Amino acid sequence: MAALSVAVVLLDRWTKDAVIDALPVHSARNVIPGFFDLVHTRNTGIAFSLFADSGPFVSEVLLPLVSALAIVFVVVYFWRQSEDAPAVRWALALILAGAVGNLYDRMSFGYVTDFLLFYVGDWSWPAFNVADSAITIGAGLLLLDSLRKPSPAPDTSAA
């Protein structure tokens, strides 16, 4: 699972660096007309630009602190999972990688680079990145796992 986290963090960093090198800030390159663009945006907030206009205390202190605490929580939760809960462990590895990738940006640059923009007509999803995708997929896996029917507890009563 550690290999998955490391691979996602490296992919996140590589894609963000490629966008930074290829596109000026606030520019776009159309990939699939009417559906998908590569963009170069700087997000000082959290997912989907929430809290982006909240000021320097939130973006420079509160958000990195919350991100760091979330990473600690995910690591502790990961290590408490048994080997027979692979879906949960995969999910947590993805969430951890996404949180680390975005925290690295936030601590290094004061913002997170987002570059994937999907839209249809006038409707568009907020721009996001590989780290955001990993967090979303991990959260989805956790949700799916929580909906599974629990296996019955073994009977420990004496016969």
Catalytic site residues? 114, 132
3 state SS of 92: helix
> Rounded CA gap, 153 and 2, in Å?
30
Residue 156 CA from chain centroid, whole number: 41
- Measured CA distances, 38 to 14, 16, 20, 116 (Å): 15, 11, 11, 5
Q: Could you tell me which residues come within 8 angstroms of residue 40 by beta carbon, excluding any fewer than 6 positions away?
A: 19, 20, 23, 24, 25, 26, 27, 28, 113, 115
- What are the φ/ψ torsions at residue 24 (nearest 5 degrees)? -65, 155
Check residue 58 and report its DSSP letter: I
Closest to 49 measured CA to CA, from 122, 114, 136: 114
